[in-house]
Amino acid sequence: MNTMGDVWKEVLSLCSKKVSEPIYKMWIAPLELTKFENNTFIFLIGSEFKKSIIMDQFSSVIKESFQEVMGFPVEIDILVSDAAKENGGVQEPAVKEEAKEDIKEGTAHYSFGNFIVGKSNNFAYNVSLGVADHPGTLYNPLLIYGRSGLGKTHLMCAIYNRLKEKYPDKLIIYTTGENFTNELVRGLKNQNTFAFHEKYRNVDALLVDDIQFIQRGESVQEEFFHTFNALEQAGKQIVLTSDVPPREMEVLNERLRTRFEMGILADIQPPDIDTRKAIILRKCEQLDIRLPENIVELIAQKIKNNVRQIEGTVNKISAMMTAYSNNITLEEVQRVIKDVTTDYQPIGVVVDKIIEFIAKAFGVTDNDIRSNKRHANVVLARQVTMYVINEVTNLTLQEIGSYFNQTHTTVLYGINQAKKKMDSGPQVKAVAVSAINEFQNVTN
Ligand code: ADP
Ligand code: MG
């Protein structure tokens, strides 16, 4: 969004010079740019009426300005948005709600069926299943805790999905400690916690992921405490997860801590080697790839404490296998493991790695991509590289350009070309998608 936002800023500034100020403020400034695809910039606006006026009266000014900024003609289109409608077209979409939806969408596939059970998570798995089958009675409240990447969110979403399926009419809320806190703080700020109470005290089951983020602020904790009590007294199921046991949650007030500890505590430990292998094999099955036994063994030996990293490794290997037509060496696997297990990588390193990845897939050198050679294959590799960098980092077009000695206009053109080539060439697309899979999580 950063990069598109930059273009839009320039376009807005040009438009403001071409039409009168009231026209600009009323019709052009409220447009919310959402995406660029098929050479078309797509906007959101709050009503059909506004859309038709803008398309009839101002689309040519807008298109003209885009062309000036980017150096080639583009189309524009406007979608009428519900979110924009509710607050009269003001550009403040419901970011927090959106985040919550994201969580649900991304985790819809988490189920009990695709959770590998071993000694380390056996108890947590079984009580979770108990909660999903007998909500509010057997194990209430349930607190699942364990270090990051060991399957807490997976189990919680499995509970959510199963409850939803069994009780489609019940109100089941999955949220995070962070969301919960944000919503409450917003309510407190506006001196209106009514909506908040209505929402949380009327649920049939409340699932709060990562409660360690509910720590700050006495009023938030008090509110959580009361919600917690009200639900429990009404026999509603509560499930919580945390990355530390309650006694180690430093900022927690005593009342809440005691409250948390009164429920069923189920910890998840790092998986043993057999469980790790089973997880790797299941993941391969999902990705439809086959890994030689020595590679499975190597991953299982090296990554002991984090299933997310195991999955990340298998994802990357799968991406590389697609890009390099299944040829992958043990050394490469070793490097992937190293990358995945060292958390943070400076952005320059990520860019270098993307260049290296694409160069290898296209059979050119890293330097070819950085140069301004015009050989068709090199140009294509460079454009795909720009596209991938734009997808997986927050760099602006200008910043991306700086790695190639190019202007932001050229970068935008390159990205656009890459998209076209991807649409018409499945191999190009496969390389880009593999690269995105491999690098998308390394920069955050
Ligand atoms: P946490 O919430 O504890 O940080 P997650 O539930 O997000 O961890 O798990 C990280 C990733 O590992 C998820 O993609 C999840 O599906 C996977 N995972 C964790 N444990 C298992 C398991 N026992 N079987 C299968 N996948 C697992
Ligand atoms: Mg989690």
- Same domain flag for 128 and 181: yes
Q: Which ligand is nearest to the CA of 149?
A: 1
Return the exposure string of 348-360: e unless at least 16 CB atoms fall within 10 Å of the residue's CB, then b.
Answer: eebbebbbebbbb
**Shared-domain flag, residues 301 and 352:** no
303 lies in the same domain as 434: no
Which residue is closest in CA terms to ligand 1's atom 14?
A: 308
Mean pLDDT of 351-363: 92
153 lines ligand 1 (CB under 6 A): yes
For residue 93, the model assigns a pLDDT of 30
Average pLDDT for 180-195 = 84
Same domain? For 129 and 250 the reply is: yes
Instruction: Kindly report the number of other CB atoms within 10 A of residue 53's CB atom.
Output: 14
Q: Which domain holds residue 288?
A: 273-344
Binning pLDDT at 50, 70 and 90, where does residue 310 land? very high
Q: 221 CA distance to ligand 1 centroid (A)?
A: 28
Neighbours of ion ligand 2 (CB under 5 A): 152-153
In the chain, the number of structural domains is 4
Q: Residue 120, exposed/middle/buried by CB under 10 A (0-12, 13-18, 19+)? A: buried
More confident residue, 228 or 95: 228
Domain co-membership, 360 together with 338: no
- Residues 92, 19, single domain; the answer is yes
246 lines ligand 1 (CB under 6 A): no
Closest of 276, 409, 345 to residue 3, by C-alpha: 409
136 and 260 both lie in a single domain: yes
Q: According to the model, what pLDDT value does residue 333 have?
A: 93
The rounded distance, in Å, linking the Cα atoms of 267 and 147 is 9
- State the CATH number of the domain containing residue 188: 3.40.50.300
Look at 4-13, 117-126, 129-138, 352-361 and tell me which has the smallest mean pLDDT.
4-13
287: which residues sit within 8 A by CB, 6+ positions away? 314, 315, 318
Among the candidates 296, 315, 344, a domain finishes at 344
pLDDT confidence of residue 443: 52
- In this structure, are 381 and 322 located in the same domain? no
Q: What is the DSSP string of 112-144?
A: STTSPP-TTTHHHHHHHHHHHHSTTTSS-SEEE
> Ligand 2 mean position to 413 CA, how many Å?
39
> 40-45 and 32-37: which strand pairing?
antiparallel
Whose Cα sits closest to atom 21 in ligand 1?
A: 151
125 lines ligand 1 (CB under 6 A): no
pLDDT at res. 215: 63
Task: Kindly report which listed range (98-102, 212-216, 345-349, 428-432) carries the lowest average pLDDT score.
Answer: 98-102
Residue 329 inside a domain? The answer is yes
Residue 108 placed within a domain: no
CA of 209 to the centre of ligand 2 (A): 7
Residue to mutate, 143, 150, 152, 310, ligand 1, most ligand atoms under 8 Å from C-beta: 150
Q: How far is the CA of 154 from the centre of ligand 2 (A)?
A: 7
- The predicted-structure confidence for 363-415, as pLDDT tens digits, reads as follows 999 999 999 899 999 999 999 999 999 988 878 888 899 999 899 999 999 99
310 within ligand 1 shell (Cβ under 6 A): no
Instruction: Give 153 Cα–ligand 1 centroid separation in angstroms.
Output: 7
Say if ligand 1 is within 6 A of residue 135 CB. no
Q: Whose CA is nearest to atom 20 of ligand 1?
A: 151
